[in-house]
Amino acid sequence: MAETRKITFFIALTLFAQEATWNFYDNQVPALLRDHVASAALVGVLMGMDNLLGIFVQPWIGNRSDNTRTRWGRRIPYLAVGMPIAALLFLLLPWTTSLVTLVVVMVGYALVMNTMRPLAEALTPDFITPDRRGRTNAIVKIATSLTIIVASLISLFVVDDHPRAAFAIPAAILLTVTLVLIARVRDNESPAYLAAVAEDTPGDAGSPLRRVVVELVTSRDRRRVLLLITVFLFGGAWFASRSLMTPYGMEALDLTRGEAGGLTLPSGVAFLLAAYPAALAAERFGRFRVIAAGMAVFAAALVAGAVTQSATGTVVALCVGAAGASCFSINAAVALWNLAPSSRMLGAYTGLYAVTWYLGGFAGPALIGGAVDLFGWRWMLLDTAVLATLAVLVVLRLSRLQKVLA
């Protein structure tokens, strides 16, 4: 138990350090871009580049690390090299003097950090037994969510007086945590690494990503495919509910831009408060049952928000919906890890989860935006609830299949 708590702390610390730079990047790099370009659309395209890179990089690096064997393990060697490089590139961002150099550094930083994220996340299934992964994932989610506050505080108290030095704070956190990780964690001792080594055969180079994907798609066991479909659908609903909320508040609720932008703030707190109980509930009642219930709560809350059609009602609906969404967010990745056919595929499955989530994040707002064009902003929450309900139906089918195969 003590060992589980210790490794949970180090995993959460690693992802906290990574997300601290990511959130500060999202906060301040748009301002750096505005020094060189006037087009808000171009700024948006360049800021969205990291998600595009992640779609290609994360499954690849996850699979590559699965097939890596060193005396330090399969994830730590990459993290030990990549995190300091990312910190250096992050430090260079405010020192660039042209759009070209800024974009080059942005691409380098986004490329390296996209390789680091799935490796750190994969440490959870590497070290933690399937029945305890939900709790660890909840703690990790809480830690990474707190980086939003850290990035905001740095922006508030440091950026105006020291715009370049401010970038050194997240970079220093990243470097310090790298040293701690190198000194205290070796994933060659993790249960999943030892199991993967035991499965190795002489001359076996591991499973290439193409083989992992082909096995996933062609397998008679449809649970993993259904779960990824659920991730795509609910990811679309979640991102739509966040990214379209400000225009919804302005168009449907007659709020100012600032007032509308603050609608989602209380729901962030609700998500954090519900995260750990969502993990405990999954251990007691079953992971798929809790995922389905959480998404159903999310959908029902948005329906209620659409009916009330007021600022207060929307805030309450978003808080209840975020608490429901935490049941999905904490448990869906854990469910996919637990369905992986081998310990040799945990990194690849971590990357596939991320890609499916990002694709949902891209498609969902576009789909709901199209529905808004047809039916108006008044029904935006209801449109989003319909998409979430589709995710519920898929996971219910998955839950029935789980009972048959259990």
Residue matched to tokens 């995922």: 291
Closest CA to 298 of 358, 352, 235: 235
Distance (Å) of CA 319 to CA 20, 324, 331? 24, 9, 19
Residue 382, both tokens: 């209801």
* Residue 120 CB-density burial (10 A; 0-12 exposed, 13-18 middle, 19+ buried): buried
Residue 69 burial (CB count, 10 A):
12
Q: φ, ψ for residue 59 (rounded to 5)?
A: -65, -35
CA distance 306 to 378: 7
Q: What pLDDT is recorded for position 154?
A: 86
33: Cβ–Cβ under 8 A, 6 or more apart, which residues? Answer: 42, 43, 46, 47, 99, 102
Query: What three-state secondary structure class fits 288?
Result: helix
Give yes or no for a contact between 128 and 193, defined as CB atoms under 8 angstroms apart. no
**Domains recognised in the chain with CATH numbers:** 2-199 (1.20.1250.20), 209-405 (1.20.1250.20)
pTM listed for this prediction:
0.90
Residues 6+ apart with CB under 8 A from 111: 53, 57
- What is the pLDDT tens value at each position of the chain, 406 positions in all? 678 899 999 999 999 999 999 888 888 888 889 889 887 778 877 887 888 888 889 999 999 999 999 999 999 999 999 999 999 999 999 999 999 999 999 999 999 999 999 999 999 999 999 989 999 999 999 998 888 788 878 887 888 889 899 999 999 999 999 999 999 998 998 999 999 998 887 766 667 888 999 999 999 889 999 999 999 999 999 989 988 888 899 999 998 877 888 888 888 889 999 999 999 999 999 999 999 999 999 999 999 999 999 999 999 999 999 999 999 999 999 999 999 999 999 999 999 999 999 899 888 898 999 999 999 999 999 999 999 999 999 999 998 888 776 5
Nearest by Cα to 114 from 329, 358, 328, 315: 358
The whole-number pLDDT of residue 381 equals 96
